[in-house]
C-alpha cells in the first residue's frame, strides 16, 4: 500500500489511509476504504483534486454546527481541549447521545458505502480519533494496531500548533500533550464503556449496532 503524506490533502493535515491494520484473526483493513483527517474547509486546488482522486463517496464531519458556522477567515473555535479536561472528555463522549449516534451512524455509513469514507473533525485527533478507534474495534482490529493508528496524530502536533497560532495569536504555551493524543485518553474511553455496559459488544448493541451491522462492516473493511 502506498503511504500517503499527512498533507496529501493540501490545506488539511493529519490525513491518512487507515488501511493495512491487522485483526485478531490475521486479516487486514483494505486500503482505500477508510480515511481520516483534520477539517477540510481550507483545501486548496491540489487538495481538492487529490480528494477527488481518492474516489471518496462519503465524508463524515464530526464538528458541531457552531464550529462549522464560525469557520471563516479570522475566526476559529478552539480545536483542542485543555489538558486537564481531555481525559474527562474521552470518558464522557462514548456515553453521550451525540457520541453514540455519531458512532452508530458512522458504522452504518462505512458498512453501506460504495466507495471510500473519510472521517474528520476539527483537528482530526479527538472526536475523529475515538470514532475511528471504536469503529476499528467493532471490525475486530487488534488493540495494538488501533492504538498505533490513534497515536499517529502526534505526528500532527506542529501543523495543529501553526493552525491555532495563525487564528488565535500567541498560544505557544499549549503543550504537546494538549495538542496531541495519549494512550491514557483512549484508555479512559474504553474504561468508561466497560464500567457502564460491561463489554464493548454490549455497548454496540445498546447504541443500535447489531450483529448484522457488525458483520456488514467487517465485510466492507476487511481483506
Q: Going from the N-terminus, what domains does the chain have, and what CATH number goes with each?
A: 16-221 (3.90.190.10)
Task: Please state whether the predicted TM-score (pTM) of the whole model is above 0.85.
Answer: yes
Q: Which residues pair with 75 in a beta bridge?
A: 72
* pLDDT > 70: percent of the chain: 87
Q: How do residues 177-189 score in pLDDT, each as one tens digit?
A: 778 899 999 999 9
Is 41 labeled as catalytic in the residue annotation? no
Q: How do residues 87-99 score in pLDDT, each as one tens digit?
A: 778 899 999 999 9
Q: How do residues 107-165 score in pLDDT, each as one tens digit?
A: 999 999 999 999 999 899 999 999 999 999 999 999 999 999 999 999 988 888 887 77
Q: Which grid cell sits at 114? A: 460504495
Long-range contacts of 20-25 (CB under 8 A, 24+ apart): 21/136, 21/141, 21/142, 21/145, 21/146, 21/148, 21/149, 22/141, 22/142, 22/145, 23/139, 23/140, 23/141, 23/142, 23/222, 24/140, 24/141, 24/142, 25/140
Catalytic residue among 121, 135, 141, 204: 121
Residue 209's pLDDT is 99
Amino acid at each position: 500500500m502506498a503511504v500517503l503524506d499527512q498533507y496529501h490533502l493540501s490545506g488539511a493535515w493529519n490525513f491518512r489511509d487507515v488501511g493495512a491494520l491487522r485483526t485478531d484473526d490475521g486479516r487486514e483493513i483494505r486500503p482505500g476504504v477508510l480515511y481520516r483527517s483534520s477539517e477540510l474547509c481550507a483545501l486548496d486546488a491540489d487538495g481538492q483534486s487529490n480528494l477527488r482522486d481518492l474516489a471518496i463517496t462519503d465524508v463524515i464531519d464530526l464538528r458541531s454546527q457552531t464550529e462549522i458556522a464560525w469557520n471563516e477567515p479570522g475566526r476559529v473555535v478552539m480545536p483542542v481541549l485543555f489538558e486537564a479536561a481531555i481525559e474527562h472528555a474521552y470518558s464522557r463522549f462514548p456515553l453521550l447521545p451525540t457520541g453514540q449516534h455519531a458512532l452508530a451512524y458512522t458504522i452504518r455509513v462505512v458498512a453501506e458505502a460504495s466507495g471510500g469514507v473519510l472521517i474528520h473533525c476539527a483537528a482530526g485527533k479527538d472526536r475523529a480519533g475515538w470514532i475511528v478507534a471504536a469503529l476499528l474495534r467493532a471490525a475486530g482490529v487488534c488493540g495494538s494496531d488501533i492504538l498505533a493508528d490513534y497515536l499517529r496524530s502526534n505526528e500532527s502536533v506542529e501543523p495543529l500548533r501553526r493552525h491555532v497560532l495563525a487564528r488565535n495569536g500567541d498560544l505557544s504555551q499549549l503543550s504537546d500533550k494538549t495538542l496531541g493524543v495519549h494512550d491514557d485518553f483512549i484508555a479512559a474511553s474504553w474504561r468508561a464503556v466497560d464500567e457502564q455496559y460491561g463489554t464493548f459488544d454490549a455497548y454496540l448493541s445498546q447504541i443500535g449496532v447489531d450483529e448484522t451491522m457488525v458483520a456488514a462492516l467487517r465485510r466492507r473493511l476487511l481483506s
